[in-house]
Structure 1
Amino acid sequence: MSILEQQYEALFTPWKIGNVEIKNRIVMCPMGGTSLFGWFELTGCHFDKEAAKLFLERANNNVGLIIPGIAPLRDTFWGKWLWQNPKMFEDLAVFMDEIHKTGAKLFIQLTAGMGRSWAITDSIVPLHKNAITRKLIKPVLDTSHELASPSPQPSRWAHDIECPEITVAQIHEIIEAFAKTAKLCKDAGVDGVEVHAVHEGYLLDQFAIEFFNKRTDEYGGNFENRYRFAAEIVKAIKEACGNDYPVSLRYSVESKMKGFCYGAMPGEDYTEVGRNMQESERAAKYLQDAGYDMLNADNGTYDSWYWSHPPMYMPENCNLTDVAHIKQFVDIPVVCAGRMNPEIGAKAIADGKIDAIGVARQFLTDPEWVTKLLENRTQDIKPCICCHSGCFNFSSCKGHANTQDLSDTMGLARCALNPETMQSRKYHLEPAKKLKTIAIIGGGIGGMEAALVCAKRGHKVTLYERSSTLGGVFIAAAAPSFKEKDRELIAWYIRELQKYPITIKLNTEIKSVASLSADEVIVATGATARKINVTGAETAIEAIDYLLGSCEVGENVAVIGGGLTGCEIAYDLYLKGKHPTIIEMQDDLITTKGICLANTSYLRDFFKTNKVPVFLETSLSQIKSGSVELIDKTGNQFTLPADSVIMSVGYTPAPIAAKGKHIHVIGDAAKVGNLRTVIWGAWDVCMKL
């Protein structure tokens, strides 16, 4: 065994959850949208063949334990209970036979509900607010059930909506549904179930946390009452399925909350208003004694969402210290999730600090990553960059609930970097019917992705890049210290291109497509930075120039533009010891759809916690030597000191040729977007060539 393999050896040892043996210590964690019973299905829940295909491919690639995404016990639409759909469980039984042939095990995750954390969309908000429309749509979508919480309180997503208090009768109905559904899962050959969740601020967690639970009955008040709901669920499941049937619990060690919609930063000294470590030590033991056989653990709530769904700004293994601590208070296995690094995770397992690592989004990006780890091919693993653009793009800003389009919200668990994930009917590779010569202009992510897709289909590909290296504008995007996964992605692309007969011509600028001898031309020349027509604009530093390190900046830096790039630049400046100030014309930072609230709330909370000045609804009127002139929403003009000014006000497509019969424009050259639009757009074109 090589030195590299020895680093991961502990990951590939067997362990047990109750009496069920798992072949290795890698757990594919649940992700919204990967439920085997469908996700947010208008036609009601059914056995989801696309999710089944996803899991079977991962099972064939050496994952130990699979836990699909949450399955609401009651259909979101039409209100039918899962246990009332026997056909679905018959299909599940056939699927479990296929899973078991691979040596993998699978638990089904069942949820009591989301309560105030239900990601109500902007389109649903007005329907819920109006009593008449709420009554009319109730047979189809009962928002009062979906939003039902321990006590009346504002929705996490729409603060002007009050979530109703769940009744004791509803609680008992949910407990009964857990037992009935778990029994059907067991009869279908499912290896265990996971209860969702005293975790992430979902319904059971809201009951457990005194900050949210103001009840005065047997489900509120003291410690035992607040954890009663979760305890009664596992007891009901054990009564229905037997004491030897494994039941896992999704569990947040600490809430990492400073207040309503305000989370704690890593390493921050703060006062916990949710579940603190002292209570967690007691709760973990209490829940184990109630009957739970495993804790699938991390940290956080929807108010500190970046702990549960860590963006690239959070450190790797961000929950490991807390999860390892809580393992000391229980005798059951403990899994740790949250940007887990396999090498660090393996060492923690070997040292007895945890029992397994939980990994989620990496499975969406590269279904074969565990196999590649086993075969000592770590450089072949396509890295997840923690962008959430495809897998969990619930976005929100001031005055809005979940701003994502409903159609997009219904399609979670896709991947910005891998279009085939949960979309295999739409995106798939087939050999080209007619082989062609294809010229691709631009060696950014879009151009490289197009080259790979075309080459895999059998076309003869030449990729032209005017600079001396591949990566395009993504080189600048990947420059900050917290973008290490972005840099790994560029390196992965460059290595991957070498595996195919693709001709790469660097330092070659194409000024006219007429000069190319090709059957098809793909234009992937990106975009150019927008300009602001104000006095002194010529002295400002463009965002890309700053990110590439080609310009020095002073101590006090005005960042013009509070979109994602501007906020990341301000964050980078702060980490470097500078003093950034953000100027944004909108009424909130990062108002663009499709950027996950876990990502945006981290940046907003970071700036708030560290007192980074943010001027909203404010425009730039002039740049002077050592200062900027600004105008607020009332028309008041004022001056701020600024040694340097960085412009981050968006981009304009810059194609070198227009779309034509044999000319295809992709990526930012077609429409400025993000990595998801760039990569998926490349597939949209290249699949048809």
Structure 2
Amino acid sequence: MTRQFTKLFEPGWIGKLKLRNRVVLAPMATNFAGPDGSYTQRQIDYYMERAHGGAGLLITGNHKIENQIEYFAGPRPRADGDHLIASMTDLADAVHDKGAKIALQLSAGGGRIVRPANPKVSPVSASALPSCADPAIICRPLTSAEIEYYVNAFGAAARRAEAAGFDAIEIHGHAGYLIDQFLSPVWNQRTDAYGGNLDRRLRFATEIVKAMRKAVGPDFPISFRFSVEQKIPGGRGIEEAQAIARRLEAVGVDAIHADAGCYEAIEWIFPPNYLGDACMLDMADAIKQAVKIPVIAVGNMTPEEGEAALEAGKADFIAFGRALIADPHLPNKVRRGQREEVRPCVRCNDRCFGRTSASKPLSCTVNAGVGREQAYRMRKTAHPRRVLVIGGGPAGLEAARIAAGRGHQVRLMEKGPALGGTLKAIATPSFKKELRQMVEWWKLQLCKLGVDVRLNTPVTPEASVLAWADAIVVATGGRPLRPAIPGIEGDIVVDVLDWHLERKPVRGRRVVIAGGGLSGCDTALELAMEGKDVTIVEMLDGVARNLNGAHRASLLRLLSEDGVRILAEHRIKEFRNNSLVAEGPDGQELVVEADTVIYAFGMLPDDTLARAIQSKWPEVFVIGDCLRPGKVGEAVRAGFAVGWQID
């Protein structure tokens, strides 16, 4: 253990449960469950890998405690029947075999935030509120009998968790889900015993705690996760959150898991890179000041921020969510003094939240092996070969890493002076430091694996190195889309990638970004943060349309706060010496003054070299943007797959 992280790896206690360190796997949906809500081997492998990686406590994603009032079909984990105890036991045993402890997170369901499987059935909530999923639908308030049914169901689920060998339970009381709808006066407008002042709004939650405590006894740890700040008008603030925490402590809760947000402030539930490191630590600190029981901090935590928080007494445990998806062995690597070995989470929310919210299995932009931990455990090939990788972007870097890890002799040739491709080009702003870290991680891995990396070395169809290779991977990237708009060759017009790579000073104060995709929006935000007067011109009816909801919400908020003007549904007709001309949705022309125009119209595939090589050599793999431009995760997955295919 390095002295830098002494506190993070001290043993800790939640009630009478001793944990080997202060590292917690935060609860996250995986969509790996079976049709009946039981654990599949895929799900068990996923948690077992994170236990093997060194976390002290794993908290599962939320499990429904009933499926009658709020019915869902499909692979949603559940704890509403004794038939589930067998697979729950398999999971608990697997985690224990790796030295970690595990907590089962239990949820009353989504209430107003979900769309019921049966459209003829109204969603339930604390009160008759518009559904968050569809405001045209009015939720049905739970009856007193139904509340009692829920409370008893929590007790029964807690009993099953204990019977299966789980070490603790966490109550899902955050993010605007059903329990939170009772807690908050924004949504709880009841006039019975479950609405009104804080004690009455807390009654549903406290009855749940008491039912669970009755089922599992006084020593079984119970954690409660709730939003310290809801981040919406009229929502919960620090003072009320502290009062809630004190009342929960008084009824027997053993730990508070402090976070923020709700679905109207979704960026705080799945905090993207824009929110920075340790974005919720102040909330954990506020709860720590109010209670004597342990507090778990979460939200873009890093090992450094976690250690500092523990040292300062701002929290007792540090939860890592997406960071442990990206690298399940983060704890052990940090503990062994191998911090640079940790594969960074880039906080994009694309293949984690973006997939699970679409009812797809969990994946990861930078770790394509998520959910396939056993199938893709690195093993040497029986037939080592010579592999040539052409191109040092994310697809090529990942292909080289996997191929070399499997024992192939790999040579990577990059025509430019640095590795990273477009990833390096777009990672210039401060809020994209994780992308820069990812490139550095790849460089370290290739160095350790002995990959022969050659920069400033273009490959032609006649290059002799092609004859050296048994297998060739072409990952040369795409080329910027440059439409034939009059004036695009002008002095004030520059391509977004060229601007990032060359870092030429922006002329003047007025900057127009032509194109409102992610690259254009991030560039606009970067320049606005530097004090430029920025306008985005986009032909669609909105910007950043292909982003997941959490990422887009955060980006749009920041663009607004930094004064970026957005002209949607405007088609650019001409670039001029100090302006551009756009046509609006009403057909009227608009002249937008500009000292600099940066265009970001997207990418086109550039497979010229790939086709030439394929015509001469038998085993050629074409991946990444040169085949089909896409997101970083798609490039990484393509490289990962090719690295395994070469055998």
* TM-score for both structures, normalised by structure 1: 0.87
CA offset at residue 570 of structure 1? Answer: 1.0
CA offsets 1:624-668 (integer angstroms, 9 cap, x no match): 222221111111111122111110111001122236752211011
SS at 2:283 equivalent: helix
CA offset at residue 549 of structure 1? Answer: 4.3
In 2, the alpha carbon distance for the partners of 1:115 and 1:625 equals: 55
Q: 1:256 aligns with which of 231, 249, 254?
A: 231
CA offset at residue 526 of structure 1? Answer: 0.6
Identity percentage of aligned residues: 33
Q: Counterpart amino acid of 1:581?
A: T
Q: 1:327 aligns with which of 271, 288, 300?
A: 288
CA offset at residue 107 of structure 1? Answer: 0.6
Q: Report whether the alignment pairs 1:461 with 2:410.
A: yes
SS at 1:482 equivalent: helix
Change (3 A) 1:163 1:672: farther
CA offset at residue 79 of structure 1? Answer: 12
- The residue number in structure 1 matching 2:15 is 18
Which runs of structure 2 are paired with 1:526-675 in the superposition (5 Å)?
526-539=477-490, 540-553=493-506, 554-592=508-546, 595-655=547-607, 656-658=609-611, 661-675=618-632
Change (3 A) 1:153 1:623: farther
In 2, the alpha carbon distance for the partners of 1:48 and 1:320 equals: 34
CA offsets 1:220-263 (integer angstroms, 9 cap, x no match): 232222222111111110111112211101121111124xxxxx
- The residue number in structure 1 matching 2:148 is 172
- The residue number in structure 1 matching 2:339 is 378
Change (3 A) 1:113 1:45: same
- The residue number in structure 2 matching 1:410 is 360
- The residue number in structure 1 matching 2:371 is 422
In 2, the alpha carbon distance for the partners of 1:11 and 1:497 equals: 29
- The residue number in structure 2 matching 1:267 is none
CA offset at residue 159 of structure 1? Answer: 4.2
SS at 1:498 equivalent: helix
Gaps of 5+ in 2: none
Contact map agreement 2:525 2:562 (CA 8 A) in 1: no
CA offset at residue 160 of structure 1? Answer: 4.2
In 2, the alpha carbon distance for the partners of 1:562 and 1:159 equals: 28
Contact map agreement 1:480 1:547 (CA 8 A) in 2: no
Contact map agreement 1:73 1:178 (CA 8 A) in 2: yes
Contact map agreement 1:513 1:657 (CA 8 A) in 2: no
Q: Report whether the alignment pairs 1:441 with 2:398.
A: no
CA offsets 1:536-572 (integer angstroms, 9 cap, x no match): 1112111112223433222111111111111111111
Contact map agreement 2:101 2:167 (CA 8 A) in 1: yes
In 1, the alpha carbon distance for the partners of 2:74 and 2:559 equals: 42
CA offset at residue 386 of structure 1? Answer: 0.6
Change (3 A) 1:148 1:647: same
Which runs of structure 2 are paired with 1:17-416 in the superposition (5 Å)?
17-33=14-30, 38-39=32-33, 41=34, 43-74=35-66, 76-77=72-73, 82-83=78-79, 85-118=81-114, 120=115, 134-135=119-120, 144=122, 147-197=123-173, 199-258=174-233, 273-393=234-354, 404=358, 409-412=359-362, 414-416=363-365
Change (3 A) 1:106 1:80: closer
In 1, the alpha carbon distance for the partners of 2:351 and 2:384 equals: 31
CA offset at residue 341 of structure 1? Answer: 2.3
Gaps of 5+ in 1: 129-133, 136-142, 259-272, 396-401
Q: Report whether the alignment pairs 1:508 with 2:457.
A: yes
CA offset at residue 82 of structure 1? Answer: 4.4
Moved more, 425-434 or 222-231: 425-434
In 1, the alpha carbon distance for the partners of 2:251 and 2:140 equals: 28
CA offset at residue 344 of structure 1? Answer: 2.6
CA offset at residue 95 of structure 1? Answer: 3.6
SS at 1:21 equivalent: strand
Change (3 A) 1:170 1:80: farther
In 2, the alpha carbon distance for the partners of 1:426 and 1:276 equals: 46
In 2, the alpha carbon distance for the partners of 1:663 and 1:560 equals: 36
SS at 1:538 equivalent: coil
CA offsets 1:442-464 (integer angstroms, 9 cap, x no match): 01111111011111222222111
Q: Counterpart amino acid of 2:128?
A: P
Q: Counterpart amino acid of 2:23?
A: I
In 1, the alpha carbon distance for the partners of 2:281 and 2:425 equals: 31
CA offset at residue 394 of structure 1? Answer: 5.7
RMSD: 2.3
Contact map agreement 2:107 2:172 (CA 8 A) in 1: yes
In 2, the alpha carbon distance for the partners of 1:573 and 1:439 equals: 39
Moved more, 422-431 or 347-356: 422-431
* TM-score for both structures, normalised by structure 2: 0.93
CA offset at residue 359 of structure 1? Answer: 0.7
Q: 2:434 aligns with which of 485, 495, 505?
A: 485
Q: Counterpart amino acid of 2:496?
A: A
In 2, the alpha carbon distance for the partners of 1:433 and 1:170 equals: 61
Q: Counterpart amino acid of 1:415?
A: C
SS at 2:125 equivalent: coil
Contact map agreement 2:12 2:19 (CA 8 A) in 1: yes
CA offset at residue 21 of structure 1? Answer: 1.3
Q: Counterpart amino acid of 2:632?
A: L
Moved more, 209-218 or 227-236: 209-218
In 1, the alpha carbon distance for the partners of 2:319 and 2:137 equals: 34
Moved more, 147-156 or 352-361: 147-156
